[in-house]
């Protein structure tokens, strides 16, 4: 399991804001570092899959925890 | 007698007919009997697929939500300045409305009827755009690139303008704008919006 470098609280935000904020946070990381995003928008599951596919970053894990969706994304 | 359909086909045909009727008459204006009559089946057949009119209505909405606009492309494509992204998001939204204007009618009907399920559904849909505007304008203002405007009201203003254009094209079909392409109207709208918020 990779260590989390930074966390982003995107709870309560609607698509596409979690993606927009994740994009900005990842820009500040170096390769291999991991950003953990917590979101509540159910659409974010598909959105982050698409985001990683398009940007080439690795979706290390995508889980649901008590109504919140948690994504760990490793910068490529 | 109506010809026998497979369950999935039957369900799809019920949803399609129900959507048109809900769009025309609103949730309260349509009865299960009427939908059944239009389909040429008994109400019992409808109840085999949907436990209630409300369940049917919700499924019509969620069908649309399954096709929910994805704004990922809009966010990731260069250039990523506020106006470029807003234009791309607007195009995606407008395209989805154009492809199925019945949902625009349902939105209008639900606002008048006060149906909670529907209003919260449509509100969420708009919020992708209004929240993006509010968030981005707050950021730009923090960078001192904007005049002192209320970002949330700016989002509402944009929603109002965009929705009016869509109503004009798809609901009232006002002859004065008949020859004006939708894209031109949207371009003008974005231009005026930017002028209003620019420093």
d(CA B130, CA B151): 9
What pLDDT, on the 0 to 100 scale, is given for residue B66?
56
Strands A68-74 and A34-39 come out as antiparallel
What are the domain boundaries of chain A?
6-74
Q: Which residues, including other chains, have CB under 8 Å from residue B10's CB and lie 6 or more apart?
A: B45, B49
Whether the CB of A47 is below 8 Å from some CB of chain B: the reply is yes
Closest CA–CA distance from residue A38 to any residue of chain B (Å)? 17
ipTM over 0.90: no
The torsion defined by the Cα of A35, A42, B158 and B140, in degrees rounded to 10, comes to -10
User: Where in chain B does DSSP place strands (E)?
Assistant: none
Query: Which CATH superfamily, name and number, covers B7-63?
Result: Homeodomain-like (1.10.10.60)
Phi, psi of A63, deg, nearest 5:
-130, 160
Q: Which residues, including other chains, have CB under 8 Å from residue B126's CB and lie 6 or more apart?
A: B159
Instruction: Give pLDDT tens digits for B48-97.
Output: 999 999 999 988 888 776 556 678 888 988 999 999 999 999 999 998 88
Has A52 been annotated as catalytic? no
Residue in A2, A11, A15, A38 annotated catalytic? A15
Give the A:B interface size as CB pairs under 8 Å. Answer: 40
Residues paired with residue A6 on neighbouring β-strands, in sequence order: A35
- In contact, A24 and A48? CB cutoff 8 Å: no
Angle between helices B182-197 and B82-99 in degrees, nearest 10? 150
d(CA A68, CA B100): 31
Q: Is there a common fold for B7-63 and B67-197? A: no
d(CA A28, CA B32): 56
- In contact, B130 and B47? CB cutoff 8 Å: no
What are the domain boundaries of chain B?
7-63, 67-197
Query: Is domain B67-197 classified as CATH 1.10.357.10?
Result: yes
Query: Which CATH superfamily, name and number, covers A6-74?
Result: TusA-like domain (3.30.110.40)
pLDDT per residue rounded down to tens, chain A (76 residues): 568 999 999 999 988 899 999 999 999 999 999 999 999 988 899 899 999 999 999 999 999 988 899 999 999 9
Q: In 3D, which of B60, B49, B52 has the Cα closest to residue B11?
A: B49
> What percent of chain B stands above pLDDT 70?
95
């Amino acid at each position: 399991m990779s260590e989390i470098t930074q966390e982003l609280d995107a709870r309560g935000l609607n698509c596409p804001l979690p993606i927009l904020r994740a994009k900005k946070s990842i820009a500040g990381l170096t390769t291999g570092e991991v950003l953990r995003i917590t979101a509540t928008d159910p659409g974010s599951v598909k959105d982050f899959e698409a985001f990683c596919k398009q940007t080439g970053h690795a979706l290390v894990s995508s889980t649901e925890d008590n109504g919140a969706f948690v994504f760990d994304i490793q910068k490529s | 007698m109506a010809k026998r359909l497979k369950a999935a086909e039957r369900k799809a045909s019920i949803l399609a007919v129900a959507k048109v009727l809900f769009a025309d008459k609103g949730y309260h204006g349509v009865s299960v009997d009427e939908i059944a009559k239009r389909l040429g089946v008994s109400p019992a057949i409808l109840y085999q697929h949907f436990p209630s009119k409300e369940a049917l209505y919700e499924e019509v909405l969620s069908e649309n939500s399954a096709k929910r606009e994805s704004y990922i492309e809009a966010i990731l494509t260069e250039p990523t300045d506020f106006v470029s992204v807003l234009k791309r998001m607007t195009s995606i939204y407008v395209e989805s409305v154009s492809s199925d204007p019945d949902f625009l009618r349902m939105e209008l009907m639900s606002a008048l009827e006060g149906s909670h399920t529907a209003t919260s559904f449509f509100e969420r849909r708009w919020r992708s755009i209004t929240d993006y505007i509010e968030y981005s304008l707050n950021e730009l203002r923090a960078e001192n690139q904007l005049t002192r405007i209320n970002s949330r009201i700016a989002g509402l203003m944009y929603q109002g303008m965009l929705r009016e254009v869509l109503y004009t094209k798809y609901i009232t079909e006002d002859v004065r704008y008949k020859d004006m392409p939708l894209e031109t109207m949207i371009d003008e709208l974005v231009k005026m919006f930017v002028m209003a918020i620019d420093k």
